[in-house]
Amino acid sequence: MIAQLIDHTLLKPEANRSDIVKLCTEAKEYGFASVCVNPYWVGLAATELQNTSVKVCTVVGFPLGATTEFVKSTEANEAIGAGAAEVDMVLNVGALKSGDTDTVLEEIGLLAEICHVQEALLKVILETGILTQDEKQLACELSVKAKADFVKTSTGFVSRGATVEDVSLMRSIVGPKIGVKASGGIRTLSDVERMVEAGASRIGASAGIAIMQEVLKIPRTSTKSVHDESY
């Protein structure tokens, strides 16, 4: 089922309480895998989604990945304590590009440990649009070594989003046991199908409702959703 692949996402800075409640209502209605919200909204989303199958996902070190390991670990701990079951952390891209693989590995490993001790999943956002092919491969290898649960293409806030080529490359490196999340610019059912065919096992999208309208053959509404964005 397509809905169970989608992290229904709203990360706009101007999103307010009613927007988050609406996001959760939509997620329950369609049976999405999770809602993905900024850390401030985790507690509200957890309350709205209690006693449902929809998980709460949040972001850490978002959107640049350039905060310290301490800050990221604190964010993750607080978010999980508030009800997050999945954490999408942004890779320290600058450290990776500087060749500081020890820092990258240690940071991912620490976040993975924090998540796993508390029965949460960790996804590592690589920001593939600003990485070379070699850097993408290295980032995937480090994520596997550090025991992350997923690698993820993009934040949707920097450069381009997901591509079929990047998803295919990531899947070929991480193998079948780790998830691959495609996110950034996925707006149609065709986009989803192409990403899944390339190896994606989860889709991050703010256009989840529009995608499900295609699945269910419901005419799209002309009103722009508050969720519409590049993510």
Q: Just list the catalytic residues.
A: 88, 152, 181
Residues 6+ apart with CB under 8 A from 188: 207, 210, 211, 214
What token pair was written down for 227?
Answer: 């969720």
Phi, psi of 75 (to 5 degrees): -60, -45
User: Whose structure tokens read 């999408």?
Assistant: 88
H-helix or E-strand containing 143? helix 133-145
How many CB atoms within 10 Å of residue 17?
9
d(CA 197, CA 5): 13
The residue type of 37 is V
